[in-house]
Amino acid sequence: MKLFIYNGKVLFIFKQSFEPFYMLNETNVKFNVSKLLEQPFLNSPLVIESHKTLIGANYFSGAQVVRFRLRLNEYDEVFTNQIEGFNDTLKATVPSLIEHHCSMGVRGGFFMRMDEGTLLGHVMEHLAIELQNLAGMNVGFGKTRETKEKGVYNIVIRFFDELAGIYAGKMAVHIINSILTHQPVSLHPIVENLIYIRENRMLGFSTQQIVNEAEQRRIPIQRLDKFNFVQLGTGCYRKVIRATLTQQTSYLAVENTDDKYLTYKMLEEMGIPVPKRILTTAVNDALTFFKNIQKPVVVKPSKGYRGKRVNVHLDAEEKIIKAFFWAQTYDEEVIVQEFVPGNTYRLLVIDGKFAAAVQLIAPFVIGDGQKTIKELIDELNANPLREYGDKGKLSKVEIDDDTLKILDIKGYNLNTILEQGKRLYLKNTGNMRLGGSSIDVTDKVHAYNRFVCERISKLLNLDVTGVDIISEDIAFSLHENQGRVIEINAAPDFRMHINPTIGNPQPVQKLFINMLFPNQTPSKIPHISITGSKGKTFLAKMLENIYSYHGEVVGCINSTGIYVNKQKLRSIDSIDSNNAAIIFKDPTVTFAITETPVESILEYGLGYRYASIGIFLNIEEKEEYYTYDHIRDLEDIAYAKSVVLEEIELDGTAILNADEPLILDAQERIDVSMAYFSLHPESKTVRDLLDKRKTVAIYDNDRIVIYADRERIVPLYLDELPYLPQNKKHYKEALTALCLCLYINGFIELDIRRSIMSIPKDFFQQEI
């Protein structure tokens, strides 16, 4: 019998044995997670014809999704309540679907929909969401939409990790097809595979918490590699981190703290209490040190992390010899130091100030005189709070080489029956990733100990510092109980503080973000995004010229290429949203202008999170729009383009063409300030907007006029610039939108005129 436990609850019980035929072994998963997507799955009678990842806000959703094209075949227009036994089997296979409210708005709502009758595409949507939820990736969003082809549906699933989203979609179809064809299916291996994907591809706990905090503050995020290398912010305001290391962290400081013996020496010279120790490559030196101090010792490599090759409380020469040669398998130079009795504490310092503290406890088992050590470890890992990886309250304890060496030095092996009441530590560190636990003691730390840790961070020039201390009680000064600083961490884990096993969580990720962006320092460069059917490039290049004239280093993406500071980097596929990352990653760029065609929204989603100003220039019929299977008419195109207006900063502005009813339909979906432009000053729409004191720019024969509340300005007299192109409607729209955009960005009347006149005449003579 197997229990599947998630978040401390038994969700379901497997009574049968199972072989996860599509599950890779753990070793392979760690290096070939993507191979999971190549594993066979039951793709009939329902068939996934294709899938596409949309990286940003898109036609279906305001965030990243996978879109599956699903063909129902003979099950088109066949509802779940018409398929004998389907509902009961699915409920028994995935009982946690009862938590899905669906459109009913109540617990069990999705099951109600199934009993009333719903199509299998809708079932796939909910299954793919729930599979990710069960693996600790709570996504909670999906859509099922018809395509233009009968019996084919777009199933849209949100994801935290792209491969997890794709795999969950495929396995959802596998489960449905297994039920339809009366084949056995087991949920457990599918969820385990998703957990492996989560642990091997998603951000680590500390990085994810930092990212979550940044996103709450609407700071843009870009992941720079498949590990924990992340950019916060954009352009010249960007900050780059790797887990809790920042671009401000001194490389020299990290190098120094990696050398444990050098760190001890530096601290001791500055009056910090540290253990007595030696650095040696000879085991005889270790034995001599042990004899001289007449107390147990600790043996560890001079360099290392997470307690690798460390052994503690060695009280016999034979143990010291084994531990010494074990440490040398990691580093030729070995530290032998006095064993300091007491509890292990981790004190965290951020930006030179004490932030939090925990007591760390290494994982252990207690013998009962009957079970082997292996059985006791299995029992320990059966605790529902213990999960794979670092996302849960506790991590499972892996039996690795260090654990086996601990047993060997103590004269044990995995088959040893541990005597009654004997406590055996399985690791020599309380690191939570290795199965340790933490108790929050932030409010108990003695003021002197706080002072010591803050001083250490400044002495070593670290912006984020984890200080490990052994003390009988951290509530007393290190002077009072002979406490010692035993290690310094330049990239300390935040999990133990944010999610302690016992005690109050400490939101240290907030302090981390405060350090990077103090006192409301800007995190993102101004960004203007332009969509429409015609004139986008013309407007984008005018804006590029103007903001460059005013001293900005402009990053511009338009149909002709990617530009930084008016230098063309390369020609591009103008619809690829991934291009936007090039300018937002550039630390020299101070202002961004992006042309955002509807094709990029439909094919990729937006390549950015929010713009400062979004402009919807116009909309016209184009044959190529209808190559997408979910686009039926111009109204669908307007809906897709309006994503540019929906994804705007809270203090930003959406600029709409008031002459286009389909564009004005987007108003109900826009949550920010709106401004309008028109080529028809006498239209009823314009009069209504002016009556409501809206900001409106009007192309009025020989001038462009802007009305804003009670203000009226004329930023441009067209006869002053006879070379301005006015022979085409989209040129007029672009010029009017340009004046309005500059006005919204704080330009006064004269500045707008001078700015437009600064654009070289030959620019306007080009056909754009």
Give the DSSP letter string of 166-203: HHHHHHHHHHHHHHHTT----HHHHHHHHHHHHHHHSP
What pLDDT sits at residue 647? 96
**Is the pLDDT reported for residue 22 higher than 60?**
no
pLDDT digits (tens, 9 = 90+) for 108-144: 999 999 999 999 999 999 999 999 999 989 998 999 9
The C-alpha atoms of residue 336 and residue 321 are separated, in whole angstroms, by 11
Order of strands across the sheet that contains 353-361: 437-440, 353-361, 343-350, 464-471, 484-489
DSSP string, 437-463: EEEE-GGG--HHHHHHHHHHHHHTT-S
Class of domain 527-764: alpha beta
Where residue 32 falls among pLDDT bands split at 50, 70, 90? low
**Is the pLDDT reported for residue 10 higher than 50?**
no
Where residue 551 falls among pLDDT bands split at 50, 70, 90? very high
Are the beta carbons of 393 and 496 closer than 8 angstroms?
Answer: no
DSSP string, 312-326: EEE-SHHHHHHHHHH
What pLDDT sits at residue 200? 85
Are the beta carbons of 642 and 663 closer than 8 angstroms?
Answer: yes
Structure tokens at 134: 């069960």
Residues of the chain above pLDDT 90, percent: 82
Average pLDDT, the chain: 91
User: Taking the domains of the chain in order of start, what are their residue ranges?
Assistant: 2-201, 228-275+340-362+436-517, 276-338, 367-426, 527-764
pLDDT digits (tens, 9 = 90+) for 369-379: 999 999 999 99
Where residue 548 falls among pLDDT bands split at 50, 70, 90? very high
Q: What SS3 state is found at 762?
A: helix
Burial status of residue 681 (CB atoms within 10 A of its CB: 0-12, 13-18, 19 or more): middle
- Residue-wise over 220-239: b if at least 16 C-beta within 10 A, else e? bbbeeeeebbbbbbbbbbbb
What pLDDT sits at residue 666? 96
In total, the chain counts a number of residues equal to 768
What pLDDT sits at residue 630? 85
What mean pLDDT comes out for the span 52-69?
A: 93
Cβ-Cβ contacts under 8 Å for 264 (sequence gap 6 or more): 274, 275, 277, 335
99-103, 211-215, 591-595: which range is least confident on average? Answer: 99-103
More confident residue, 763 or 496: 496
Which of 311, 368, 392 is closest to 8 using CA atoms? Answer: 392
What pLDDT sits at residue 2? 37
**Is the pLDDT reported for residue 3 higher than 60?**
no
Cβ-Cβ contacts under 8 Å for 250 (sequence gap 6 or more): 461, 462
**Is the pLDDT reported for residue 216 higher than 50?**
yes
Where residue 53 falls among pLDDT bands split at 50, 70, 90? very high
Where residue 768 falls among pLDDT bands split at 50, 70, 90? low
Where residue 638 falls among pLDDT bands split at 50, 70, 90? very high
The owner of tokens 């260090």 is 402
CATH architecture of 276-338: 2-Layer Sandwich (3.30)
Distances from the Cα of 403 to the Cα of 316, 374, 408, 496, angstroms = 19, 11, 9, 21
More confident residue, 475 or 765: 475
Amino acid identity for residue 249 in this structure? T
The C-alpha atoms of residue 71 and residue 274 are separated, in whole angstroms, by 68
What pLDDT sits at residue 18? 30
Residues of the chain above pLDDT 70, percent: 95
Where residue 42 falls among pLDDT bands split at 50, 70, 90? confident
Structure tokens at 249: 């962290």
What pLDDT sits at residue 320? 94
**Is the pLDDT reported for residue 7 higher than 90?**
no
Long-range (24+ apart) CB contacts under 8 A made by 293-297 are 293/338, 295/338, 295/339, 296/338, 296/339, 297/336, 297/337, 297/338, 297/339
Q: Which secondary structure element, helix H or strand E, spans residue 11, and what is its range? A: strand 9-14
What pLDDT sits at residue 1? 33
Q: Which fold has domain 228-275+340-362+436-517?
A: D-amino Acid Aminotransferase; Chain A, domain 1 (3.30.470)
Amino acid identity for residue 279 in this structure? L
Where residue 578 falls among pLDDT bands split at 50, 70, 90? confident
Q: Which secondary structure element, helix H or strand E, spans residue 375, and what is its range? A: helix 373-381
Strands 673-678 and 695-700 turn out to be parallel
Note the Cα 180 to chain centre separation in Å: 37
pLDDT digits (tens, 9 = 90+) for 259-312: 999 999 999 999 999 999 999 999 999 999 999 999 999 999 988 777 788 989
Q: Tell me if 276-338 shares its fold with 527-764.
A: no
250-264, 352-366, 439-453: which range is least confident on average? Answer: 250-264
What residues are paired with 55 via a beta bridge?
A: none
